[in-house]
A and B are shown apart, each in its own frame.
Chain A
Amino acid sequence: MKLAYWMYAGPAHIGTLRVASSFKNVHAIMHAPLGDDYFNVMRSMLERERDFTAATASIVDRHVLARGSQERVVDNILRKDQEEHPDLIILTPTCTSSILQEDLHNFVNRASIISHSNVIFADVDHYQVNEIQAADRTLEQVVRYYLDRCHRQEKWDQFLTDVPSVNIIGIFTLGFHNQHDCRELRRLLRDLDIEINQIIPEGGSVEDLQNLPKAWFNLIPYREVGLMTAVYLNKEYGMPYISIAPMGAVDMAEWIRQIQKNVNTLTLSSSNKRVDYEPYIDGQTRFVSQAAWFSRSIDCQNLTGKETVVFGDTTHAASITKILVQEMGIRVSCAGTYCKHDAEWFKEQIQGFCDEILITDDHAEVGDMIAHMEPSAIFGTQMERHIGKRLDIPCGVISAPVHIQNFPLGYRPFLGYEGTNQIADLIYNSFALGMEDHLLDIFGGHDTKEIISKSLSTDIGLIWNPESRLELSKIPRFAREKVERNTEKFARQKGIETITVEVMYAAKEALNT
């Protein structure tokens, strides 16, 4: 048992639901108590989804506790099958089902015999994995299910596509800037003359999964989700994969070079058209991305040696740390991640780029570290933004968990060459704000905090009795002044001299009527 106020990664079922609702025509049925379908609210609000989220609950209530879910789960699966004809139904366990120990596998088997949809049971345990790991697993499970099935049915078409092609694995709903990143990757691959075989899970169809092995290789932009699938495809089908995040100019170049290597190795066997992307990298780095130029400009010079703290998921925290240090000459006092399960990789990546490494999922520890370091800027999640607010340190948000502001309508990729521009802006703006603030403080330029307000000319003669004073003080500050003014105005109109609680509310009513 531990005291917890806040968590970086959600419970396992959220990961499964994110994968399920990213695919087209896949329905998730949660085995959960009333109230655990909060995922639908998040998706509808944060992503501003226009469609109903394809996730419902098979409710666990008192009745179920006494008798077991029995027919209920099966009925709910069949009902969904009939109503919406999904390609796949994923029965999703929650913390509640983890301890009920019902044989949900068995329900799935029974339902799948009757239903037209395929039905699987998400193999995730609440007490073993978190949201991120569960998403990774579920994606692999779905891919494996469809490839295995296809194998059994011997409808197998193993041939690679004629022209170089890739799968992009790991773009999905509620991911940090995923939609924008995806668009940016498409553009990049078009430039490189590489076709996209499939993008999964976002917008993908499970029926197409059997064609995944037709791609030449796989791209895993974020290592949190997709790596398991890539490893599986590598093992079973010999598909190479690139798991570098194309974030920042340096890693972008490395990413493209790896693509080149892979394309050339595979082309060798068929023809001898070798590709050379070096001129592309050079052109993009120098002219499309402004980041390389920006790091030479005077602005960026001013940032040299400034101290920062970076915290987030492994992909974003590692990439941003490297960008800050290598590309902008900024010092990272501490870099950290909450993905404890992938700590080794993280440490290896940022070895030598920062003074300290912090691996924790306790936000208080992160807060203490920041307070101790007193950096000029923080790059972290929404939590770090709030820590920053409290400590008066600016913060750029670079990783999930996120709020609605992190689902911008405008085009804001983090990946690719446009991504380098966005990141440069984000970093520069965080510092510039911090410095402006500092200068204003030094020269006393801020507005004075007390608001001097007596808007009505005749402010003599009105007395607030102690009760009404007290009542007034209970009103939230932002509204208090207005209430005070309205009440006094009302009292004056009525020729009242002493303001009582009754007068206050009479004033409110008068205003309303």
Chain B
Amino acid sequence: MSVKIDETLTVECETGNYHTFCPISCVSWLYQKIEDSFFLVVGTKTCGYFLQNALGVMIFAEPRYAMAELEEGDISAQLNDYEGLKKLCIRIRKDRDPSVIIWIGTCTTEIIKMDLEGMAPKLEWEIGIPILVARANGLDYAFTQGEDTVLAAMAHRCPEPEFSVRERKETIQNFLTFHSRKKEELGEYANHPSLVLFGSLPFNVASQLNLELKRQSIKVSGWLPAQKYTDLPSLGDGVYVCGVHPFLSRTATTLIRREKCQLIGAPFPIGPDGTRAWIEKICPVFGVEPQGLEEREKRIWEGLKDYLDLVHGKSVFFMGDNLLEVSLARFLIRCGMIVHEIGIPYMDKRYQAAELSLLQDTCKKMCVPIPRIVEKPDNSNQIRRIRELQPDLAITGMAHANPLEARGISTKWSVEFTFAQIHGFANARDVLELVTRPLRRQKNLEDLGRTTLVRK
């Protein structure tokens, strides 16, 4: 947290007229991640229409999410919200029997000041299913920040660690662990306080990161969120936490303030450089000397050679819509690319401090200037800049992708980075696979001419 930001790294702020997904979209990946959950979005047709179209075919697979669609009577408070929600939740319990129902508050519930937080505990008690409230609306947040609001709400429900009081007294703790651990486990892990990682990742990716830390004999005692709501990790005084996504600043704050956890500030494990730096920040906290990381990172880079040749010297422009931008830009600069601009919806300089300083170091190492970081960008200004700069690649939302392609600018649809597996050593290749796809296609089509396909 004490990393000082060099003066050369500045964050500009524009008008905030940019395109991004509504944060309620987080239900699409979170309902899949948390297997026994049910997400109820309390909103209007607008929210429903967005989810239905953004989720595409997933919608037909009987997803564990639904809309509680507010009608005119709900708005004018002629109808009783509590009774309305109760009826729907009882139906959900009957049809799906989830272990938790998560209410997603929307713009409308904010504006009419529907007291979701007040109603939830009452209803929870009445129907016997935990009810969490996450206010993931478009008034306050962008896209991936939706997950942040859900995880922050979930953090409150994590159980207290069993030995929280005694754990602080190390001698006793050592004694206890000696007896409670199985024999083979003893050799594998160092003796350290518990570490909980936060951020939703596909099962396989989470397990790769676990393994990565296991190589350093660090044991991950749990994840927020876990595969099941009923498996939430223990949190509390003396528990160390570390984030895997750059967009989880609220969750981080909650973990520190409310749950009294210790936050390990680290760059995010995206790209081999990020993954190594991430591990290197975690290890010393537990008094572990990282082993063989340099070798390992080197090997991964070597394996990426074919892609690196493709991207070397090419330029990128991030329009910004999902908060992964700084980490991705840092990785791409390390790959030898030139980044013109890093657009980003929201920049938490505290939570991203380590990532930002790694970005600076990387720029220094690669001898390139630090790219301008633009918070709350203005899309029409950005498009003007893109036209001037003519980058080799624009990472952008789908609203702009086709029009830019038609004007001869290669684009990569940014949302794919949120759904692809991009964390850890083993997935560095997947990031480059995405980044180079438009470049490779362009190569394939090069001889056809006609790169601009608009009139005038």
Binding site for B on A (CB under 8 A): 1-7, 10-11, 13-14, 32-38, 40-42, 44-45, 48-53, 56-57, 59-62, 65, 76, 83, 94-96, 98-100, 126-127, 130, 383, 386, 389, 403, 471, 474-475, 501-502, 505, 508-509, 512-513
Contact = CB atoms under 8 A, between A and B. Distances in A.
Nearest to A130: B45
Nearest to B41: A4
A42 B88 CA distance: 30
B232 to A, nearest CB: 19
Contact of A35 (B50, B87, B91): B50
B236 interface: no
B74 A62 contact: no
B10 interface: no
Contacts of B21: 35, 38
B142 interface: yes
B129 interface: no
A60 B139 contact: yes
A2 B41 CA distance: 11
A342 B138 CA distance: 34
Given A35-B138, A60-B139, A1 B50 contact: no
A389 B74 CA distance: 36
Nearest to A12: B45
Given A6-B48, A41-B19, 15 more contacts: A3-B67, A3-B88, A34-B142, A41-B53, A44-B402, A51-B406, A52-B383, A53-B399, A56-B379, A95-B108, A99-B108, A127-B72, A403-B56, A505-B208, A508-B426
Contacts of B125: none
B303 interface: yes
Given A11-B49, A34-B22, A56 B107 contact: no
Contacts of B67: 3-5
Interface in B417-456: 425-426, 429, 453-454
A1 B398 contact: no
Contacts, number: 182
Nearest to B49: A10
Given A53-B399, A61-B140, A2 B50 contact: no
B397 A41 contact: yes
B403 A44 contact: yes
A40 B137 contact: no
Interface in B60-118: 60, 63, 66-72, 74-75, 79, 81, 84-85, 87-88, 91-92, 107-108, 110-112
B48 A99 contact: no
B138 A33 contact: yes
Contacts of B401: 44
Q: Which of B45, B75, B400 has the most CB of A within 10 A?
A: B45
Nearest to B42: A1
Contact of B400 (A52, A62, A99, A513): A52
B48 A45 contact: no
Contact of A509 (B66, B75, B425): B425
A156 B403 CA distance: 39
Which applies to chain A's interface (DSSP): helix, strand, loop or mixed? mixed
B429 A512 contact: yes
Contacts of B16: 34, 59, 61
A1 B71 contact: yes
A7 B139 contact: no
A334 B134 CA distance: 42
B53 A95 contact: no
A49 B211 contact: no
B143 to A, nearest CB: 8
Contacts of B53: 38, 41-42
B139 A99 contact: no
18 contacts: A1-B87, A5-B63, A5-B66, A7-B52, A33-B138, A35-B138, A36-B50, A36-B138, A42-B53, A44-B403, A49-B402, A56-B17, A60-B107, A60-B139, A65-B110, A95-B44, A99-B111, A126-B44
A61 B140 CA distance: 6
B299 interface: yes
Contact of B71 (A2, A44, A48): A2
B274 to A, nearest CB: 16
A41 B52 CA distance: 13
B403 A7 contact: no
Contacts of A505: 208, 211, 426
Contact of A501 (B24, B75, B207, B400): B207
A4 B42 CA distance: 10
Interface string B245-260: 0000000000000000
A41 B138 contact: no
Q: Which of A35, A53, A99, A474 has the most CB of B within 10 A?
A: A35
Contacts of B336: none
Contacts of B139: 33-34, 60-62, 65
A308 to B, nearest CB: 21
Contact of B50 (A38, A57, A83): A38
A118 to B, nearest CB: 21
Contacts of A99: 75, 108, 111-112
A40 B207 contact: no
Contacts of B81: 1
Given A35-B50, A99-B112, A471 B207 contact: yes
Contacts of B60: 383, 386, 389
Contacts of B397: 41
Contacts of A56: 17, 379-380
Contacts of B398: 41, 44-45
Nearest to A96: B107
A306 to B, nearest CB: 26
B403 A49 contact: yes
B45 to A, nearest CB: 4
A386 B18 CA distance: 34
Nearest to A44: B402
Nearest to B45: A11
B400 A65 contact: no
A53 B60 CA distance: 28
Contacts of B425: 509
A10 B425 CA distance: 43
B321 to A, nearest CB: 10
B406 A513 contact: no
Nearest to B56: A403
B57 to A, nearest CB: 8
Given A49-B402, A512-B426, A1 B303 contact: no
Contacts of B380: 56, 83
B71 A11 contact: no
B204 interface: yes
Interface string B377-416: 0011001000000000000011111110010000000000
B75 A127 contact: yes
B175 interface: no
Nearest to B303: A513
Contacts of B327: none
A405 to B, nearest CB: 11
Nearest to B59: A6
Contacts of A4: 48, 66-69
Contacts of B299: 513
Q: Which of B49, B54, B453 has the most CB of A within 10 A?
A: B49
Interface in B233-277: none
B162 interface: no
Contacts of B429: 512
A86 B335 CA distance: 43
Given A38-B22, A126-B44, A474 B204 contact: yes
Contact of B399 (A1, A41, A386): A41
Contacts of A45: 398, 402
B16 to A, nearest CB: 6
The 3 closest A-B pairs by CB, nearest first: A513-B303, A35-B22, A33-B138
Contacts of B300: 509, 512-513
A1 B45 contact: no
A11 B67 CA distance: 14
B20 interface: yes
A127 B71 contact: yes
Contacts of B302: 513
